[in-house]
Amino acid sequence: MKKIIFFTFLFSFLLILLTFLNYKIEVIESKIIDTEIINKKLEKDLVFFKSEWEYINSPENISYLSKKYLHHKPTELIELQYFIKLLSNERHIDE
C-alpha cells in the first residue's frame, strides 16, 4: 500500500513538473517566433534602406544635388607662374 501511494505521489509530481516544463517551452517558443518576425521585418527594412542609400549616393544624384544646392563654378587650371604672381599680389594688397 505504501508503495502504491509513493508511486502515485511520484507520478503526480512528475506530471506536474512536465506540465510546468511544457509551459516554459511554449513561452520560449512564442518568444522565438516573435523574435523571428521582428528579425524578418528588420531585414526587409535593411534591404530598403540599403537601396535608398545606394540611390542617394549614386554619382548622378550627388552631381545633381551639388549643382542644385552648392552653386559650384567650374575651375580652370592655371600655370605656376600666374599662381606665384597672384600670391605675390595678394601679399602686397594685405600690407
What pLDDT score was predicted for residue 21? 96
CA distance 64 to 72: 11
CA distance 5 to 18: 20
Question: Who has greater pLDDT, 12 or 70?
Answer: 12
pLDDT at 94 over 50: no
66 Cβ contact partners less than 8 Å away, ≥ 6 residues apart: 72
**pTM for this one?**
0.52
Question: Who has greater pLDDT, 62 or 16?
Answer: 16
Question: What's the whole-number mean pLDDT along residues 61-82?
Answer: 80
CB 12 within 8 A of CB 20: no
Question: What's the whole-number mean pLDDT along residues 64-93?
Answer: 77
Question: What's the whole-number mean pLDDT along residues 4-26?
Answer: 94
Domain chopping of the chain, boundaries: 2-94
